Structure 1
C-alpha cells in the first residue's frame, strides 16, 4: 500500500498497477464504485452480502440502535445493515464487497457511538459495530515482542478503560489519555485523543507503534512509522476516511501507584495563562495539566462550588473581592509511589511555589492512579441516576493558537458570565512539537510551539429543568466559530457541511488528504457521515487526479 514509496524505489510494475487501478476505480469503471445516488440497498446487494462467508453476523433488520450517537444532534435514518464482526477478516470481507457493489452502499465503523454529529453513521450503508471485536494483549519489558519498548496490543473495538485495567496487571499503563475512558481505541485514534498528559507525551495518536488497518478496498495492512507509513499516518487522526483501525499497538510506561490531585483558582486570565505555559515547559513538570473556566457564582453548575473535591471546603467569603464574573481553575497531578510519600508534600510545594494562584483557593486530594483516570465515570453514574446522561450534547472543541488565546478569552470566555451554561469549559495548553506533522490531524498552522485545547462541553437539559434551547446552543457554537475564523483556530472533532470549509480546515494538509483518499479508499465508501467525500459524487475531477498522477510518476499522463 505504500504507493509513493514504491514509485520512489522505481518499482515500475507496482506503480502502474496501483495508479492505473486508482484511475480505473475512480473514473473508467464507475459502476464498480457507485450507482445512482441515494437509493437504499437493492435486493441484489442484499442477497450478495448475505452470501458472504462471515464468522460474525450481518443483519438487515432492526438496525435502529446503530443510528444513534452521543451528540443526539442529527436525526439519522437507520443503516441498511449492521455487522457484528468477530474477526478482522469479517470487516475486510464486507468492506471489499461494498467497494465492489454497483450501488451507493457505504461503510461506517461504530464504536460506542460517541460521535457528536453522526460521524459513525451510514444511512443506506453498513455500520460495523466494532465493540464485538475483542482482544487485549500486553508485551511487558523483557518480552521478546517488546524489543525494549513495552506495549499493549488492543483490538479497535476495545475500550480504553479495559486497556488500562489489563495493562495495570503488569504494572504498566499507556502514557496519553482522554478525559473519559469509556471510548474505543479505534474511535479515539481516528481523531487524536487528548487530555492533560498531551503536553508531555502528545495525543494518543502520537503514542502508537503499529496498526492493523482495513482499507477502503478491503485490504488488511499492518503499518507503522517505517512500514506502509503513508497509511499509518493517514489513518491516525484521519477521521475514518482511509481505513478502519482493527488493531493498535500502543506504547506503555511504568504505571504510577497514586496521584496528588490539585486544583487552584485564578481571578485573571493573564496570570492563569502564564502559569499554565510555565508548567508545560518545566524541566520537572507535573504529570497532568488542564484548566477550566469557573463562573463566579455559587449556584452555577460550573461555578466555584465545583472546584474543591469536597463542596464544604469553599464558601463565598473565600472569593477575592476583586474577582470578576469569570475565574479560572488550574488542575494538575503529581504521581507518586508509597516510598515517595514522606517527601511528597515538600516536592509538591516546591513545584507550586512559582505559581501565582490565590493561596487560599488551593484544594488537594490523593487517590489511586486508576480512580484519577476514571474520574469522569463517577460523574457519569451520578448523571445516569438522574436521567441526565442520554441527552443532547452540543459540544464544541477547538484548537486555539497561543497568540490568539487572550483575544479568545475577551471575546468568548468573559461574555459567558451572562449566559446559562450547563457543562464544563476546558482550556489548557499543549506543545505542538509533540504532535507528529505527518498525522492527518489538523492543528493550528504556523511557527508557534503552543496551542490551547478549548472544549465547551454543554448539555441540553430536559425542558422540565429549563435552560437555553438546543437551537440556541447550536447558534452559540456557530457564533464562536465565526470568531475563530479571524483567530486561526482549528476545530477538533470537526463537523462541516460545506466542502470549502473542509478544505480550509485541513489547510496545507488538504492535498495530501485527498491523495490519501484516492489511494486508500478510491470509491469513497468509508465514514460517509462526515460529508467530506461522497460516493457517486466524488469531489475531485479526473483532471485533478490525472495531474496528481503526473506528480506521482514524474511526467505527463498519456
Structure 2
C-alpha cells in the first residue's frame, strides 16, 4: 500500500484510499513526481493546548548554529506544558504511516547540520517549556529537577543560590538540557565525572507514540539508557534530574605551552590518572598563529613577564594545556599548594606559564564572553563546519603526525581542542558510541567560515579539509568515532554504531516505530522499514 501511494497516481484516488484507511482523520497529502507536499491536518489546530501552534514566521526556526542547512517546517509548537507535546506527538502517531508529518525538538538551536530541524514537519520550541519545573533538592545526594528546555547557564545560577552546582559541563552553557543529554555533553570535567549523561538520575520522556514515561536505572531502564546519547531517536526529554555537588567560589585558571606533542599528551594522561589533580583539564592546538601568547595577557598574567615576552610562537605548531583548580575562599592556601605540586610534575616550556583567577561562574561561562564579542562584529551567525572526533589513545600520535603535520599547514579558522577522557566514566548502556580503549581523546575542530571567502577561511576549503581528515582516519584504520555525527546514508550510520546498531534499531522500533522523532539526524525515515 505504501509503495502504491508513493507512485505517480491520480490525486483523487490517493485521497480516497487515505480516507478509507485513516477514517475520520483530515490529513491530506498530495504526492507528485517531484516530491511530497504535506499539509498540516486541521485537527492539529483543534488540540486543547496550553501553549499554541504557529504557522507564520517560520524562517527563523529553519536554521541552526551550523548555519549550513535550512529546512522549513510547516508549524512551530510553543508548549507551555508537557501535555502540549504529548498531545501533539500522539496525534501525529494516530495519523499513521500515511502522514508525512515528523517532529523535531529544538532547544537553543545549537545543532550543526540540521539535526534539530524538520522539512514540512513540526518543530517544538523546547525553550518554551522552561522555568516552572526547576527545583533544587539539598541533602546527602543533592540534585535538581529541570525542564528539558532549560539552559544550563540558568541551572548553574539557580543551584549556586544553594551553594551547589552540576558536576559535568559542556564548554558552552547556553544549551538546553535535552539537547546535550541527547548527545553526551563533554568538557574538561569529563575525565573525572564523565559526560553529562553520566550524571543524570531520572528522566521524563515523551516517546514517538505520545506516551509520557518516567525512566531511570531502576524504572524503564532500557528507555532511560537509550535516550541518553540517543540523538533524539527514542523520545523527547521533557524533564531531567541532574546530580549536584558543593560548588566552589573561585577558580585558578592556568595555561602552559608545549612544543612536543608526545610530552604534551603524556602530561595530560598523567594528570587525568591521578586522584588528586586539577578539576578541569583540556588542551588545544596552535598552528602557526602569531602572537597568541601575547593575546592571553588580557585575561592571563605570565608568571615571569620577561621570559614570556621573549618566547616566540611564529611558524610553530604548539600545544596548550589548560587546567583549572576549583576552591572555596577558605581553602585558598591549600589550593595554591596543590597547584604548585601538580605543575612541578609537568614538562611544559617553563617561560609559558600563564595564570588567572576568576569566580567559578565566570570560568564556566567563559565562552559566552567570546560569543558577545563575535556577535558585535557580525561573526557569530556564520557557517560552523565543525568536526568532532573521538580517537583511541593508541592512535593519537599517528593522527597528530598526519593531521597537524601535513593536512593542517596554515592558521586554523577556530580553536582545535584536544584532551583525553576515561572510558570508565562512561556508561556503556547508553546510546553513545565511543572507542573501545580505556583512554580516548576528544579532538574538536571548531572552525568558523567566512561566507563570502574563497580562501582558506571559506566554507569550501574547511569542508575539504574535514574530508581529508576523515579519509585519513579511515585509510589508517584508527578506530575513530565521530561525536555529533552527521550522515545521510543509513549504511554510514550502521558503520558508526557497529555492533550496537541492532540494539539501536530495536529501541527505535519499540519507542518510535513510525520514525516521527528527530528526522534531521537522517538515521531513519518515516514509514520506512528499520531492518
Equivalent in 437, 456, 475 of residue 445 of structure 2: 456
TM-score when scaled to structure 2? 0.89
CA deviation map 1:317-373 (0-9, x unaligned): 63379x972110000111111112234322211111111111110001111000000
Equivalent in 474, 492, 495 of residue 501 of structure 1: 492
Instruction: Measure the CA separation in 2 of the matches of 1:343 and 1:221.
Output: 46
Report what 1:63 is aligned to: 58
User: 1:267 aligned to 2:259?
Assistant: yes
Equivalent in 414, 423, 435 of residue 432 of structure 1: 423
Report what 1:51 is aligned to: 46
Report the CA distance shift for 1:134/1:297 in structure 2 as closer, same or farther (over 3 A). Answer: closer
Report the CA distance shift for 1:307/1:282 in structure 2 as closer, same or farther (over 3 A). Answer: farther
Report what 1:293 is aligned to: 285
User: 1:129 aligned to 2:125?
Assistant: yes
Equivalent in 98, 109, 114 of residue 113 of structure 1: 109
SS for the counterpart of 2:517 is coil
1:507-546 matched pairs, under 5 angstroms: 507-540=498-531
CA deviation map 1:185-225 (0-9, x unaligned): 10000000000000000000000000000000000000001
Report what 2:472 is aligned to: 483
Instruction: Measure the CA separation in 2 of the matches of 1:341 and 1:312.
Output: 18
Report the CA distance shift for 1:468/1:296 in structure 2 as closer, same or farther (over 3 A). Answer: closer
User: 1:95 aligned to 2:86?
Assistant: no
TM-score when scaled to structure 1? 0.85
Report what 1:383 is aligned to: 374
How far off its partner does 1:378 sit?
0.6
1:62-461 matched pairs, under 5 angstroms: 62-74=57-69, 76-101=70-95, 102-135=98-131, 136-142=133-139, 148-299=140-291, 303-307=292-296, 309-310=298-299, 318-319=310-311, 325-415=316-406, 418-445=409-436, 448-461=437-450
SS for the counterpart of 2:382 is coil
SS for the counterpart of 2:321 is strand
Q: CA RMSD in A?
A: 2.3
CA deviation map 1:225-270 (0-9, x unaligned): 1100000000000000000000110000000110100000001000
Instruction: Measure the CA separation in 2 of the matches of 1:66 and 1:348.
Output: 46
Q: Show structure 1 runs of 5+ residues with no match.
A: 1-28, 143-147, 541-558
Instruction: Measure the CA separation in 2 of the matches of 1:460 and 1:137.
Output: 37
Report what 2:13 is aligned to: none
SS for the counterpart of 1:123 is coil
Report the CA distance shift for 1:280/1:52 in structure 2 as closer, same or farther (over 3 A). Answer: same
CA deviation map 1:526-548 (0-9, x unaligned): 000111000032342xxxxxxxx
CA deviation map 1:494-537 (0-9, x unaligned): 00112111001011111000000000000011000111000032
Instruction: Measure the CA separation in 2 of the matches of 1:308 and 1:196.
Output: 22
Report the CA distance shift for 1:483/1:464 in structure 2 as closer, same or farther (over 3 A). Answer: closer
How far off its partner does 1:307 sit?
4.7
How far off its partner does 1:112 sit?
1.2
CA deviation map 1:109-141 (0-9, x unaligned): 001110000000111211000000012433333
Report what 1:41 is aligned to: 38
Report the CA distance shift for 1:371/1:269 in structure 2 as closer, same or farther (over 3 A). Answer: same
Deviates more, 1:493-502 or 1:59-68: 59-68
Instruction: Measure the CA separation in 2 of the matches of 1:224 and 1:98.
Output: 27
Contact 1:269/1:328, CA 8 A, preserved across alignment: yes
SS for the counterpart of 2:223 is helix
Report the CA distance shift for 1:203/1:36 in structure 2 as closer, same or farther (over 3 A). Answer: farther
Instruction: Measure the CA separation in 1 of the matches of 2:296 and 2:367.
Output: 14
Instruction: Measure the CA separation in 1 of the matches of 2:176 and 2:152.
Output: 6
Deviates more, 1:334-343 or 1:209-218: 334-343
SS for the counterpart of 2:36 is coil
Instruction: Measure the CA separation in 2 of the matches of 1:169 and 1:189.
Output: 24
Contact 2:168/2:194, CA 8 A, preserved across alignment: yes
Report what 1:469 is aligned to: 458
Q: Show structure 2 runs of 5+ residues with no match.
A: 1-20
CA deviation map 1:149-203 (0-9, x unaligned): 1101110111000000000000000000000000001000000000000000000
Report what 2:11 is aligned to: none
Deviates more, 1:305-314 or 1:482-491: 305-314
Contact 1:296/1:304, CA 8 A, preserved across alignment: no
How far off its partner does 1:41 sit?
2.9
Instruction: Measure the CA separation in 2 of the matches of 1:406 and 1:36.
Output: 55
Alignment coverage as a number of residue pairs: 498
Deviates more, 1:530-539 or 1:358-367: 530-539
Deviates more, 1:270-279 or 1:46-55: 46-55
Contact 2:454/2:461, CA 8 A, preserved across alignment: no
Report the CA distance shift for 1:324/1:419 in structure 2 as closer, same or farther (over 3 A). Answer: closer
Contact 1:267/1:324, CA 8 A, preserved across alignment: no
Report what 1:145 is aligned to: none
Instruction: Measure the CA separation in 1 of the matches of 2:468 and 2:456.
Output: 18
Contact 1:59/1:83, CA 8 A, preserved across alignment: yes
